[in-house]
């Protein structure tokens, strides 16, 4: 094999080796829908949910989750965020939902309230709220063996519930205080900020008592979910003088760690039926390249293999840039906060739009790169068949 071909192959191997070394901490794809509604139009505004969602989103991002953040969402925007989340779930090993804001239970079913909800009649429940059952169905649909984690900080005192009760007359008995307990499928964990049927506190500081405690747990590497929630419960009990008791229901089949690198052995813990770790696939690719080198195949084939790894590395770099821009969008929303002034709203939209345009251009480049990767992989497969003859 010519020296220049050998050098390019070594360069290609050097590019992908860091990926192999980093896989134990990032092998699983994990996504989170994080929503905080504070600026209610027809109900009492809440001080903390937008802060709660922003801070939880940041903590989950630092733990390696892909975040879909929504702050002060009306019904249309709420539905759009849930749809975006649903599109990512089929490829995700773990899905997390965090919601802070007003919620209501009617006839044992929980409804999360967008900021423009009015709830003047019972019919409005179907049109103006987002059913928790609907989101849970999206998280569990065609995801057997996957993990779902739900946090609901949505049991605050809600005047819309009283309005609804007056319009329902004798049927108002079906309206419960706080949220109803939900029975979940295998692989799902759901946590309430307080016990079912009780009302939680919004808190006096930046975060609610529940979210403040949860944030501390999320930032502690090495703790599994069970340990985190025990500490959350103890802290909330102490903070609220025993008035609020976080509650959870678990159908998990194994330990769950927010920080994968801190899990036992530094490897992801998969539930039965989950996908095989990506480390094995990457190691097989490296071994294949090493076999190609040992057989001293023709230079063109070797150069194609190296080019293939370089293209994949470029796709990975574009992914990293898009993740960085998602953080920029996240930070921009935090910078502006709740926006009611038309000029400020216009500035926010322009700034977000320019970032999204860059992300769209990268998406086009990624598509072209993936097409070229597919062609090279097809050529490599054909060459392997020829070499085996």
pLDDT at 388 over 90: no
pLDDT at 79 over 70: yes
Mean pLDDT of all residues in 41-68: 93
Q: Is 46 left (phi over 0), alpha (psi -120 to 50) or beta?
A: beta
Rounded Cα–Cα distance for residues 24 and 20 (Å):
8
> 114 pLDDT band (50/70/90 cuts)?
very high
- Stronger pLDDT, 110 or 108, i.e. the higher one: 110
Q: How many residues does the chain have?
A: 389
Rounded Cα–Cα distance for residues 40 and 73 (Å):
9
Mean pLDDT of all residues in 98-125: 86
CATH classification code of 28-266: 3.40.50.1460
Maximum CA pair distance of the chain? 87
Rounded Cα–Cα distance for residues 389 and 382 (Å):
11
Rounded Cα–Cα distance for residues 350 and 338 (Å):
16
Residue 108: per-residue pLDDT? 76
Identify the top-confidence range among 65-74, 161-170, 215-224. 65-74
Mean pLDDT of all residues in 77-103: 95
pLDDT at 185 over 50: yes
For 211-254, what is each residue's pLDDT tens digit? Answer: 999 999 998 888 899 999 999 999 998 988 888 888 888 888 88
Q: What is the mean pLDDT of the chain?
A: 77
Strand partners, 191: 151, 248
Instruction: Report CA-CA distances (Å) from 155 to 106, 152, 168, 201, 389.
Output: 13, 8, 21, 8, 68
Domain ranges within the chain, ordered by starting residue: 3-22+277-388, 28-266
> 27 pLDDT band (50/70/90 cuts)?
low
Phi/psi for 368 (5° steps) reads -65, -40
């Amino acid at each position: 094999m010519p020296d220049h071909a050998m050098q390019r192959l070594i360069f290609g191997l050097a590019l992908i080796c860091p990926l192999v070394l980093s896989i134990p901490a990032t092998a699983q794809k994990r996504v989170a829908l994080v929503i905080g509604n504070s600026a209610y139009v027809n109900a009492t505004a809440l001080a903390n949910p937008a802060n709660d969602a922003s801070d939880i989103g940041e903590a989950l991002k630092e733990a390696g989750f892909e975040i879909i953040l929504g702050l002060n969402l009306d019904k249309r925007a709420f539905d759009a965020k849930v749809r975006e989340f649903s599109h990512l779930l089929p490829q995700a090993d773990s899905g997390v939902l965090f919601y802070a804001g007003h919620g209501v239970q009617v006839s044992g079913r929980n409804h999360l309230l967008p900021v423009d909800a009015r709830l003047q009649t019972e019919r409005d429940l179907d049109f103006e709220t987002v059913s928790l059952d609907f989101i849970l169905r999206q998280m569990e649909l065609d995801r057997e063996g996957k993990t779902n984690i739900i946090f609901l900080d949505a049991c605050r005192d809600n005047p819309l519930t009283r309005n609804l009760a007056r319009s329902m007359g004798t049927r108002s008995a079906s309206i419960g205080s706080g949220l109803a307990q939900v029975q979940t499928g295998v692989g799902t964990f759901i946590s309430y900020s307080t016990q079912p049927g009780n009302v939680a506190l919004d808190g006096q500081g930046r975060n609610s008592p529940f979210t403040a405690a949860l944030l501390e747990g999320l930032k502690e590497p090495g703790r599994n979910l069970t340990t985190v929630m025990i500490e959350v419960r103890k802290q909330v009990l102490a903070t609220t003088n025993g008035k609020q008791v976080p509650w959870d229901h678990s159908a998990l089949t194994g330990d769950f760690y927010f920080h994968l690198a801190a899990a036992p052995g530094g490897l992801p813990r998969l539930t039965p039926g989950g996908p095989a770790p990506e480390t094995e696939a990457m190691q097989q690719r490296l071994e294949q390249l090493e076999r190609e080198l040992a057989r001293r195949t023709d230079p063109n084939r070797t150069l194609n293999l190296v080019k293939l790894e370089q293209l994949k590395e470029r796709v990975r770099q574009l992914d990293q840039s898009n993740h960085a821009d998602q953080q920029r969008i996240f930070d921009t929303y935090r910078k502006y906060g709740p926006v009611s002034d038309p000029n400020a709203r216009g500035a926010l939209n322009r700034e977000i739009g320019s970032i999204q345009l860059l992300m769209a251009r990268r998406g086009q480049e990624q598509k072209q790169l993936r097409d070229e990767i597919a062609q090279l992989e097809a050529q490599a497969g054909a060459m392997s068949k020829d070499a085996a003859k």
